[in-house]
Amino acid sequence: MTEEKNILTNESDALRSVYFLGIGGIGMSALARYYNSRKVKVSGYDKTSTPLTDLLEEEGIAVHFEDNLELLDKEADVVVYTPAIPPTHSELNYYKENGFQLKKRSEVLGSITRETFNICVAGTHGKTTTSAMIAHILRDTGYGCNAFLGGIAANYNTNFWSSEKNVCVAEADEYDRSFLQLSPDVAIITAMDADHLDIYGDEKTMQDAFIQFTGKIKTGGLLISKKGLARADELMGSNKMTYSATDSSADIHTENIRVVNGSYVFDLVIHERIIKDLQLNMGGMHNIENAIAAIAVATHLDIEEDKIKKAVGNFAGVKRRFEYVVKSIDSIVIDDYAHHPEELRVLIEGAK
């Protein structure tokens, strides 16, 4: 119980039991599913029952909703917790006082992915859709990947899947500087607008964290960033490329954007190469930019053009990210998680 155990992927067979405090969170549930898929006993606590915790229970993971010492796992090898758990929580304090190995969610994800080829998507908005699209392209084309997503991929109704391929797509969360635990081979930055100022204090400090994140890119790795980011010249990486839906000076940009039968169709210029007639069945110009970043990763991995086009065309998006709840001639209802002012602006513009 108190013995230190390594939670790296290649030693996870040594684990018998992992307990999650805040198991219903989108990032926590992906980790829970990861360990469950590896036949480790997984259980956990969350404050309220949700459709996501219902799915975890259907997958054989025990979840309870009371802060009750009688219900926790007293034989857990590792206890994973989220910053959302208050310091007064009795289960958290039980594990602290009894010498259990406690790990933040970000530490566990960093350990799991330390030995893999990592595609890490960061940004104050756009990262969930972009990471889901990258993971979908790699899965749909047969390239293969493991995926730890910050939303439910509509094509698969999950935020996690595994593969024999030693490649991982991970959403790189800037909250609490969590993304500094990751080791990207390919890093993507979609946006750096002021956010989480309760953590960072001011916009400059937040930008400093993103610059630090680029410093985590492995030797010979690649940074793909949106054209026009603040302090772009300070972003690190020996290999860099920029992308944009509207700025033709970016390394990767679109041409000939049009709407055909309710879908976007566009050409993509990558250096001197052109991929013509890509189709995206999602609303919003911001999703064209997300698609550009995802396609940039796929071309970097030398995935065949026709396979990329097919995968982009059948990508169904992420639940609660510009998700059409009703789409008819008479009315359209869109569900979206947007809560940051810039996200709301982009959402409204996209809906128009």
Over residues 116-138, the pLDDT tens digits come to 999 999 999 899 999 999 999 99
Model pTM above 0.75: yes
The last residue of a domain, from among 88, 109, 130: 109
Mean pLDDT score of the chain? 89
Same domain flag for 233 and 188: yes
pLDDT tens for residues 324-337? 555 555 555 665 55
pLDDT at 100 over 50: yes
Q: Which domain holds residue 87?
A: 9-109
Same domain flag for 124 and 74: no
Per-residue 3-state assignment (H helix, E strand, C coil) for the chain: CCCCCCCCHHHHHHCCEEEEECCCCHHHHHHHHHHHHCCCEEEEECCCCCHHHHHHHHCCCEEECCCCCCCCCCCCCEEEECCCCCCCCHHHHHHHHCCCCEEEHHHHHHHHCCCCEEEEEECCCCHHHHHHHHHHHHHHCCCCCEEEEEEEECCCCEEEECCCCCEEEEECCCHHHHHHHCCCCEEEECCCCCCCHHHHCCHHHHHHHHHHHHCCCCCCCEEEEECCCCCHHHCCCCEEEEEECCCCCCCEEEEEEEEECCEEEEEEEECCEEEEEEEECCCCHHHHHHHHHHHHHHHHCCCCHHHHHHHHHCCCCECCECEEEEECCCCEEEECCCCCHHHHHHHHHHHC
Task: Give the CATH number for residue 232.
Answer: 3.40.1190.10
Same domain flag for 173 and 209: yes
pLDDT at 13 over 90: no
Q: Examine residue 331 and state whether it is found in any structural domain, yes or no.
A: no
Label residue 152 exposed, middle or buried (CB < 10 Å: 0-12, 13-18, 19+): buried
pLDDT tens for residues 266-283? 999 998 899 999 999 998
Task: Give the CATH number for residue 54.
Answer: 3.40.50.720
The number of folded domains in the chain is 2
Please tell me the predicted confidence (pLDDT) of residue 193. Answer: 80
Q: In this predicted structure, which of 35-39, 94-98, 226-230, 326-330 has the lowest mean pLDDT?
A: 326-330
Same domain flag for 198 and 79: no
Please tell me the predicted confidence (pLDDT) of residue 320. Answer: 54
Q: Examine residue 134 and state whether it is found in any structural domain, yes or no.
A: yes
- Per DSSP bridges, beta strands 117-122 and 167-171 are parallel
